[in-house]
Amino acid sequence: MVFFVFSSTALAQKDEKKLDQVQKEEKLDYFEKWLKKDAVYIVTPEENEVFTALTSEEEKEHFIEQFWRRRDPDPRTTLNEFKEEHYRRIAYANDHFHWGQAGWRTDRGRVYITFGPPDGRTTHPGGGTYYRPAEEGGGSTLTYPYEEWFYRHLPGIGSGIEVEFVDPSMTGEFRLAMSSQEKDALLLMPGMGGETRWELEGMQLRAERVRSMDMLRPSGLTQGVIPSRSPFETVERYFQLTHRRDVPGAKLKEIVTLQLSYQTLPYTYRLDTHWISKALYLSSLTLFIRKKDLTFTPLGNDLLRANITVYGQVETLSQEVVFTFEEELNSAIDRAMEVREREKIFHYQKRIPLRPGRYKLTLAVKDSESGNVGTHNILLLAASADEEFGASNVIVFDRLYFTDGQPDLTKAFNYLGGVKLYPSVDNIFSRERPLYAYLEVYNPAADQSSGAPDVTLKYAIRPEGSEPVSFTDITKRTGASYGDRLVVLQPIPLRDLAPGRYQIEFKAEDLIRGKTVARKTQVEVKP
């Protein structure tokens, strides 16, 4: 006699595997339902292609999350108004437009979900007598049940849009009409009446009217009082009403929000953050693109031009978008100096205002001519400033220009001290000319009697890894005082230095408080 003994542990594991399988199948059903029902009218072909190619649940969940965020009209709020409105429209369509299938599947449901409620709506549930306007030929006829919807304006389509839905089967299935003739119940019934004025006066045969409907003229999707459209315009309008629309924004935004990685366009960047007040920082994002990596096309007889698009999105670590920017840029070079010009660097700078905190900056840069794209994810730190004494990081420059008047810090490359500065690409400098260092020292204490700060400023440059021999005092040669900060703009001669890597260190000492702050940066001196 053989006995089979089943372990309770084995049974539990079997049940657990079965439960996992059920959950996976439900998850697959959920993703398929989302793509083919929830978002079917608003997902773009590109998004559809990307989503279909995803393999893991985590990727698909992230895609759906980003899909709704990309359409959120105000990412700063917790409520996604677009998503809420979209699902409200689906519910309304299911309640009002079903006829044997779900309302969201019908033509009326599709138009309602895609474009929202019409500004005007006329229903003729039983059909009846219809007096044609002059542009449709005049006369009267009997119609199938039909509805007319009116939209004052549809983005990307036009203004004064009239949409007709007709139920020729008398079953409640209202279909989007491509021609105003589709609601005519007597059109294909000669001898039963329904002639147009043109037909009554012998100016047109009914067969010609039927043929004109087959040619999609005149259209039931009229705009204003225009009598008719060409067949091509009618097909285009029908296409616009029944096909997915692109998401406003840009292709680069999809790359950023989908977190796709592209590195076909190389570029480097630096990020410098300056304290404005206790509640605000200003981050300067500087991009460096080698012109030889860009595609230049002819611009007239003497110039070549490259077009670049930059898109950036700043979000908190909890994924709340706080700042976005998108700019179309161009770089021109002289044909006669093309070889030399292509060895130079294209500079771009964007100023980003931020409240104190930690952020993620996602960046995409595209060469418009070649289509090459480069992306980066960057941690952006706007730390709370030391209320007593602090300093910015040190920025080194190889180009400096003086400007007139008060600097506009919202504009690229403008800094305090009335200067326009271009940060070095790689912190590599030649011995033939000095480099320039920029530093801001924050919140020095003021002397009670004079009202002026009492701060000493020094710097030292030494080979990397060694200790400084001595500091150079530059207290009396600082740039300017701006109330709550001192601006240091210091030229540093390099002619006596041997080629190699060096560290530059600045020290600021507040003699009133007895506090010291130090900042360092590394540079390389070449022959």
> Could you state, in order of their start, the residue ranges of all structural domains in the chain?
118-242, 250-384, 386-527
Q: Given CA atoms 109, 114, 115, 117 in this order, what sign does their dihedral have?
A: positive
What CATH number was assigned to the domain covering residues 386-527? 2.70.50.60
pLDDT computed for residue 8 by the predictor: 44
Average pLDDT in the chain: 81
With CA atoms as reference, report the closest residue to 372 among 307, 463, 468, 437: 307
Residue indicated by tokens 């709340």:
320
With CA atoms as reference, report the closest residue to 117 among 81, 150, 68: 150
What are residue 467's phi and psi, to 5 degrees? -90, 145
Q: Is the pTM of this model over 0.85?
A: no
The ranges of the chain with pLDDT < 50 are 1-12, 19, 22, 214-232, 248-250
The three state secondary structure string of 294-348 is CCCEEECCCEEEEEEEEEEEEEECCCCEEEEEEEEEEEEEEHHHHHHHCCCEEEE
The three state secondary structure string of 398-457 is EEEEECCCCCCCCCCCEECCCEEEEECCCCEEECCCCEEEEEEEECCCECCCCCCECEEE
Alpha carbon separation from 327 to 139, 252, 309, 312, 361 (Å, rounded): 56, 11, 6, 9, 16
The C-alpha atoms of residue 123 and residue 145 are separated, in whole angstroms, by 8
Q: Write the CB contacts of 274 (distance below 8 Å, at least 6 apart in sequence).
A: 281, 282, 283, 284, 392, 440
pLDDT computed for residue 292 by the predictor: 94
- Give the fold, CATH level 3, of 250-384: Immunoglobulin-like (2.60.40)
In tens, the pLDDT along 166-206 reads 998 888 889 888 777 788 888 777 666 767 777 777 776 76
